[in-house]
Amino acid sequence: MFNPLRKRLALLALAASTLAALAADKPNVVILATGGTIAGAGASTLNSASYQAAKVPVDKLILSVPELAKVAQVRGEQVSQIASESFTNDKLLALGKRVAALAKQADVDGIVVTHGTDTLEETAYFLNLTVRTDKPIVLVGSMRPGTALSADGALNLYNAVVVAGSPDARAKGVLVTLNDQIDSGRDVSKQINIKTDAFSSQWGALGMVVEGRNYWFRAPIKRHTAQSEFDVEQISQLAPVEIVYSYGNVPASLYEAAAAGGAKAIIHAGTGNGSVADRAVPTLRKLRQQGVQIIRSARVAGGFVLRNAEQPDDQYDWVVAHDLNPQKARILASVALAQGRSSQDLQRIFWEY
């Protein structure tokens, strides 16, 4: 005998099982929100460069991009709510430990970190060095607040979730997705402050995301994540490292002030090939003899610092940062020196990472 109620219940059960099956096929992605422009708001739709960062909470950020539900099962956590220029070593460690804990969970396939663009490259490199996992970790930000005309944050976030949930993004280290590009967290840096294509790497992007599909063109060669000798869960405090920016007429007293403030290493952001002014050489040699590591980086946007070129690094017992810019050299030195290193071991680390 025909029973419409029983038929309706059967159809509902079938629909529920179908939805469950569809959900099961989608990757589980956790979004950790830290603030920044991607969570910012302006006074009007015309405010694309003047606005308040870190205003929109993670739940509203996720709801503003309903397309996320089509590519992943997404949940969010509010780790912090700040503009990224206010990131400290303590905040880096707290974020890194949370990312590492999530990466160990069987029900997490990938992690997205929303972040302000000012120091996004530093956080990406820190996680690349210290979170020991093959699972995709993707940092994302935006150059315009969500309230602006032609806001870039929604698509950037969508692309980040796509990448974080993709099996083909595994074992590639920490990634950064902005402006449709997929960059290595090690290589990428912010090059301009008023364009949506603000981030690039002198060695080129790893790939692109186009209409929800990843296209890969190269892979990172330096040590990272699961192959790293560093582990954020074993680090209780980062070593104090300072950057001194060189320029014509730079006084040697800046280096002395950094050392007096407790720096275990000084990143010399030199001109050209990490050049050091003649009047600063005696001071830097003295500081090295006192136990402060001297690391030559360069303030120029591209290239890399050659060892024993411009300065006799072997003779002075200095380290060169290779192709790392000053801010990333600071991150690596802070991580490495948290456990104490000789200058020879520190140089090895700069070559490998």
pLDDT attached to residue 6: 63
Select from 167, 163, 172 the least CA-distant residue to 226.
172
Q: What is the CATH number of the domain that holds 303?
A: 3.40.50.40
Tell whether 48 is in a known binding site: no
Same domain for 140 and 161, yes or no, is yes
Per the structure, the complete domain to which residue 190 belongs is given by 19-227
Same domain for 126 and 75, yes or no, is yes
Select from 178, 50, 169 the least CA-distant residue to 114.
178
CA 125 vs. chain centroid, Å, equals: 5
Q: What is the CATH number of the domain that holds 83?
A: 3.40.50.1170
Same domain for 287 and 179, yes or no, is no
> Does a structural domain hold residue 10?
no
Same domain for 219 and 257, yes or no, is no
pLDDT attached to residue 23: 55
Tell whether 84 is in a known binding site: yes
pLDDT attached to residue 71: 98
271 a catalytic residue = no
Same domain for 159 and 277, yes or no, is no
The answer, yes or no, to whether residue 38 has pLDDT greater than 70, is: yes
Q: Which of 34, 114, 117, 119 is flagged as catalytic? A: 117
Reported as a pLDDT band with limits 50, 70 and 90, residue 44 is confident
Same domain for 189 and 261, yes or no, is no
pLDDT attached to residue 267: 98
Reported as a pLDDT band with limits 50, 70 and 90, residue 5 is low
Same domain for 95 and 144, yes or no, is yes
Residues 179-230: pLDDT tens digits? 999 999 999 999 999 999 999 999 999 999 999 999 999 999 999 999 999 9
37 a catalytic residue = yes
Residues 126-160: pLDDT tens digits? 999 999 999 999 999 999 988 888 899 999 999 99
Last residue of one domain, picked from the residues 169, 200, 227? 227
pLDDT attached to residue 263: 98
> Does a structural domain hold residue 82?
yes
Same domain for 167 and 250, yes or no, is no
What 3 state SS string does the chain have? CCCHHHHHHHHHHHHHHHHHHHHHCCCEEEEEEEECHHHCECCCCCCCCCCECCCCCHHHHHHCCHHHHHCCEEEEEEEEEECHHHCCHHHHHHHHHHHHHHHCCCCCCEEEEECCCCCHHHHHHHHHHHCCCCCCEEEECCCCCCCCCCCCHHHHHHHHHHHHCCHHHCCCCCEEEECCEEEECCCCEECCCCCCCCEECCCCCCEEEECCEEEECCCCCCCCHHHCCCCHHHCCCCCCEEEEECCCCCCCHHHHHHHHCCCCEEEEEEECCCECCCCCHHHHHHHHHCCCEEEEEECCCCCCCCCCCCCCHHHHCCEECCCCCHHHHHHHHHHHCCCCCCHHHHHHHHHHC
Tell whether 183 is in a known binding site: no
Residues 249-306: pLDDT tens digits? 999 999 999 999 999 999 999 999 999 999 999 999 999 999 999 999 999 999 999 9
Reported as a pLDDT band with limits 50, 70 and 90, residue 340 is confident
Select from 215, 217, 213, 193 the least CA-distant residue to 203.
217
Reported as a pLDDT band with limits 50, 70 and 90, residue 19 is very low
Q: What is the mean pLDDT of the chain?
A: 93
